[in-house]
């Protein structure tokens, strides 16, 4: 009798665990500190770009990239790979715009990165 319950319950528990993992992107996006707050770092880069402080913008971009790389490991099982790749590419293009001191290009890529971040997992 106990073995039958175990054989029935175990697959259900495993299935439930996988469903919870796959739909938990909202939980994993919550920053656990300033070192992995992607939205805050996007705003810091935007502030530096608007002030045309390119050195500060590149430093803020490095922090943003580090925060994003940290978040990828948390989000990789609950978010589609294309969504992760989209934000990664936006950040790469943003870095190029910052190196070229291209204000309009940087603002465009910041808007794209912010949109990717908000839509992640939807």
Range of the domain at 78: 25-119
Closest CA to 70 of 60, 62, 59: 62
Cβ within 8 Å of residue 13, ≥6 positions away? none
pTM of the model: 0.82
Asked if the model's pLDDT at residue 103 lies above 90, the reply is yes
Closest CA to 45 of 115, 114, 118: 114
Residue 21 and residue 77 in contact, taking contact as beta carbons nearer than 8 Å: yes
**Structural domain tally of the chain?**
1
State percent of the chain over pLDDT 90: 60
CATH of the domain at 104: 1.20.120.290
Q: For 10-14, 19-23, 53-57, 72-76, which range has the lowest pLDDT when averaged over its residues?
A: 19-23
State percent of the chain over pLDDT 70: 99
Residue 63 and residue 94 in contact, taking contact as beta carbons nearer than 8 Å: no
Asked if the model's pLDDT at residue 75 lies above 90, the reply is no
Position 102 in a domain: yes
- Give tens-digit pLDDT for 16-49: 888 887 777 777 788 888 888 999 999 999 999 9
Position 18 in a domain: no
Owner of token pair 């990789």: 76
Position 1 in a domain: no
């Amino acid at each position: 009798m106990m073995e039958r319950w175990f054989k029935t319950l175990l697959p259900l528990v495993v299935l439930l665990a996988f469903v919870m993992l796959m739909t938990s992107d909202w939980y994993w996006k919550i920053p656990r500190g300033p070192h992995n707050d992607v939205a805050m770092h996007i705003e810091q880069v935007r502030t530096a770009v608007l002030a045309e402080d390119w050195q500060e913008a590149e430093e803020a971009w490095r922090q943003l990239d580090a925060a994003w790389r940290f978040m990828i490991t948390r989000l990789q099982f609950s978010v589609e790979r294309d969504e992760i790749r989209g934000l990664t590419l936006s950040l790469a293009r943003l870095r190029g715009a910052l190196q070229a001191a291209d204000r309009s290009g940087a603002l465009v890529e910041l808007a794209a990165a912010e949109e990717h971040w908000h839509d992640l997992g939807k």
